[in-house]
């Protein structure tokens, strides 16, 4: 039987309860995530080149996350003094000030979050959790240590989840630049014959099960 106290969170689960130390002081999850969107992401190690490029880009795009009401939280198994020194190095050497907290973790915390993949490495993989204001895990991405993340896709995913929640719709591939319907949004498929007939006459469509409309502004 799976131990619910150590099983990694799955989509729709509450984010696990964790009390942690960060570069901004102590934090308690999911309490410090409530009522806001969060992007919680791990990196293999401080003072590594791929991770450094990611943190610089996360910081340079931070205003876009802020505008979405979304906080950034980083994590690795390095100790907090290593995080602090790395953040100082980034500011002094690259002239970028990291303004989001970095969690110091241990193997237990990383395992609880599914960030340790033993057949890949002893370091944390590049995990990304997008958490909604009700502290539900809404999206999970994993990247291997050797491949840096696409920050545009993370921003796009937060935007798409917010639109889906606000307008009760689905979003197409590559939204808002889909080849078939551009920046339109998809009406959830009808579940009965009456709604199928109504939707087909009410919305643009390829068929009754593929109806779409412009984004509500």
Q: Does the annotation count 51 as an active-site position? A: yes
**Which of 8, 18, 33, 51 is the catalytic position?**
51
Question: What values do phi and psi take at 199, rounded to 5?
Answer: -60, -40
| Catalytic residue IDs | 51
């Amino acid at each position: 039987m799976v131990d619910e106290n150590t099983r990694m969170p799955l989509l729709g689960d509450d984010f696990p309860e964790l009390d942690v130390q960060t570069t901004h002081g102590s934090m308690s999850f999911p309490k410090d995530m409530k009522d806001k969107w969060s992007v919680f992401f791990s990196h293999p190690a401080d003072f590594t080149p791929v991770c450094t490029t990611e943190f610089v880009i996360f910081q340079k795009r931070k205003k876009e996350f802020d505008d979405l009401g979304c906080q950034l939280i980083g994590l690795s198994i390095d100790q907090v003094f290593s995080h602090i020194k790395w953040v100082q190095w980034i500011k002094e050497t690259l002239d970028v000030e990291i303004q989001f907290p970095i969690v110091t973790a241990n193997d237990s915390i990383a395992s609880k979050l599914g960030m340790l993949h033993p057949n890949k490495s002893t370091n944390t993989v590049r995990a990304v959790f997008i958490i909604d204001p009700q502290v539900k895990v809404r999206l999970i991405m994993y990247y291997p240590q050797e491949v840096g993340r696409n920050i545009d896709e993370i921003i796009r995913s937060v935007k798409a989840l917010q639109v889906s929640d606000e307008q009760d719709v689905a979003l197409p591939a590559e939204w808002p630049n889909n080849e078939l319907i551009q920046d339109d949004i998809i009406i959830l498929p009808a579940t009965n014959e009456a709604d199928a007939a109504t939707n087909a006459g009410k919305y643009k469509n390829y068929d009754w099960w593929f109806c779409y409309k412009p984004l509500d502004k």
